[in-house]
Amino acid sequence: MTNAQPASASGTYSLGGDLPIHRLGYGAMQITGPGVWGDPADPDEAVRVLRRAVDLGVNFIDTADSYGPFVSEQLIRKALHPYADDLVIATKAGLTRSGPGDWRPVGRPEYLRQQLHLSLRNLGVDRIDLYQLHRIDPQVPLADQLGALVELQQEGKIRHIGVSEVSVDQLKQARELATIVSVQNLYNLANRQAEDVLEYAEANGIAFIPWFPIATGELARPGGPLDTAAKEHDATPAQLALAWLLRRSPVMLPIPGTSRVPHVEENISAAEITLTDAEFEALTAAVS
């Protein structure tokens, strides 16, 4: 780690055109208990992780009301409130929980409105910088779901609106109903099924937030392409996977998460790794 704030080496992206953030952020799902349920085993370490991430230059943190539920948001407030002026906290609503590992979409407007107010309280803010529809509820018209968020935006309680886990067609439909500044889909070096969504986002100036960003799979096997490139940079395969994401697109905002300080330091230092053209192309071609 050559930079006191290595996250700054990831470059800057202007979220919604008015919120400049470092592109390598932090995803706050893993600071909860097993199954993303309840309190973490070591709440003090979770607080240290959040503070260390910010110390390292992270100024974009992504969470959700369903992480815990609410445990992640409450820990963020405990660790970081009052927030730095440049810190952007994004949260999400639209998935309800009944136990560990259980996630069910609920997009009724009154539910989304209720969850927004709970997130405001739990985070200790008057407005959410980026509020994302966590999943589209197939039982509720999308116009009703996003309509609720637009109303809350008009009331000054949401700054920008994003969507999560959508197809290109759903993203196009969403953009007819609201100004969408971000999309959050499963995407990593080993799983690029959302490539078409990324390409659409890039073409239309929409931030792309890849969740589960450092899955490496067989690519990290001894002698494999990720393992080889990592040794060249004296880095870990996970760091190379993050470096690849940052190189892949200027709208890419990776949010690796962890519950341990050494791991957050490792992840964020990936911003300082610059892949050569040959390395990037070799890693890209390794998964067809």
Please write down the HEC assignment for all residues of 43-98: HHHHHHHHHHHHHCCCCEEECCCCCECCHHHHHHHHHHCCCCCCCEEEEEECEECC
pLDDT at position 215 is 76
67 is catalytic: yes
Chunked in runs of 10, what are the mean pLDDT values of the chain (288 residues)?
89 98 98 97 98 98 98 98 98 97 97 98 98 98 98 98 98 98 96 97 98 82 85 94 97 97 97 95 86
pLDDT at position 255 is 98
Residue of 13, 26, 67, 187 marked active site:
67
pLDDT at position 223 is 83
pLDDT at position 221 is 84
Per DSSP, the three-state class of 39 is coil
Q: How far apart are CA 254 and CA 241, in angstroms?
A: 10
pLDDT at position 1 is 61
Sign of CA dihedral 220, 222, 228, 230: positive
Contact 21, 68 (CB under 8 A): no
To the question of pTM greater than 0.85 for the whole model, the response is yes
Nearest one of 217, 250, 243 to 229, comparing CA atoms: 243
> SS3 sequence, 121-181?
HHHCCCCEEEEEECCCCCCCCHHHHHHHHHHHHHCCCEEEEEEECCCHHHHHHHHHHCCEE
Domain annotation for the chain: domains and CATH numbers:
10-215+248-258 (3.20.20.100)
pLDDT at position 288 is 63
Q: How far apart are CA 89 and CA 123, in angstroms?
A: 9
